[in-house]
Structure 1
């Protein structure tokens, strides 16, 4: 009787703990990657980060397919980059943010989590929230203080109509 096919992790953002065999230079241990458990060819894929805009990584370039399914088991799942509120007060070197503060979660390329606080800027005519590109590092063990919030993305045509692209972040 054939052994059961190993279950692959869900698609999403992960931290590598080992280099990808055969692609060690492109996907070393200790970086964030976009993982997909499927592809047109049927194999799982992984894509290293390309660049960061507005505290979010963008994954471009051809995804790397791999056959060593046991490597996928070495990946550590990371919460999605995006917007959260604090479930309790966060104290850090140089300050503290109260419970329910709106923050943006981002990562260094090495997968270290960073929180960016939402600010209303007094000098702007627009009613926008601003997230600095400088944040406060937290430990992965602190992910439990984050409560995901839903934010609506403006359509790319700039029309600003209908909040039709809701994302749980």
Structure 2
């Protein structure tokens, strides 16, 4: 017999389209959630966003477990927050960014996508890319313009080894 987990969406970032029955105040319609199709007690859970750091939502606080798995079918999957390039030029009020531009994808709490452009700040000594906390809102239909890219992220404890040219064998 198949487990109910196999009928649930994959874990990830979603937009609610309906409030969670019995938890309408905690998980209303029209908000982003972190969905997990498993938990210690075997039930699926959702967690609402707590705060935003570097254009990414952090999901802390108690997860809300639920039994009505049909509600999970109402969730709308969102592309992961992170770094992408543009597959073609993006025009918007006030300007445009050319094909190939490196951007960071983030969201409002209501799940509206926001793009943040990568910038090199020439006044600084570091060789870092900078992403402002001010972005350009796009329509969900425009998410297809994004091509995911891999970016190495150092562990927050600073213990990680950063691969560089000298590591190539």
**TM-score normalised by length of structure 1:** 0.91
Aligned to 2:162: 162
Aligned to 2:91: 91
Aligned to 1:127: 127
| Equivalent runs, 1:24-103 vs 2, <5 Å | 24-103=24-103
Q: CA RMSD in A?
A: 1.6
Asked if 1:23 is matched to 2:20, the reply is no
Quote the Cα distance in structure 1 between the aligned partners of 2:38 and 2:2. 20
Aligned to 1:166: none
**SS across alignment from 1:30:** coil
**SS across alignment from 2:88:** coil
- Kindly provide the CA deviation profile for residues 135-166 of structure 1, in whole angstroms up to 9, marking residues without a partner as x: 00111111110000001011323356234xxx
| Equivalent runs, 1:147-158 vs 2, <5 Å | 147-158=147-158
Q: Which 4+ runs in 1 deviate beyond 6 A?
A: none
**SS across alignment from 1:33:** strand
Quote the Cα distance in structure 2 between the aligned partners of 1:160 and 1:69. 39
**SS across alignment from 2:7:** coil
Aligned to 1:167: none
> CA offset at residue 77 of structure 1?
0.2
> CA offset at residue 86 of structure 1?
0.1
Aligned to 2:145: 145
For these two proteins, the number of residue pairs brought into alignment is 162
Quote the Cα distance in structure 2 between the aligned partners of 1:28 and 1:125. 45
CA, structure 1 residues 39+99, in 2 after alignment: closer, same or farther (shift >3 Å)? same
Gaps of 5+ in 1: 164-169
Quote the Cα distance in structure 2 between the aligned partners of 1:146 and 1:41. 37
Q: Mean alpha-carbon deviation: is it higher for 4-13 or for 49-58?
A: 4-13
**SS across alignment from 1:141:** helix
Quote the Cα distance in structure 1 between the aligned partners of 2:16 and 2:3. 25
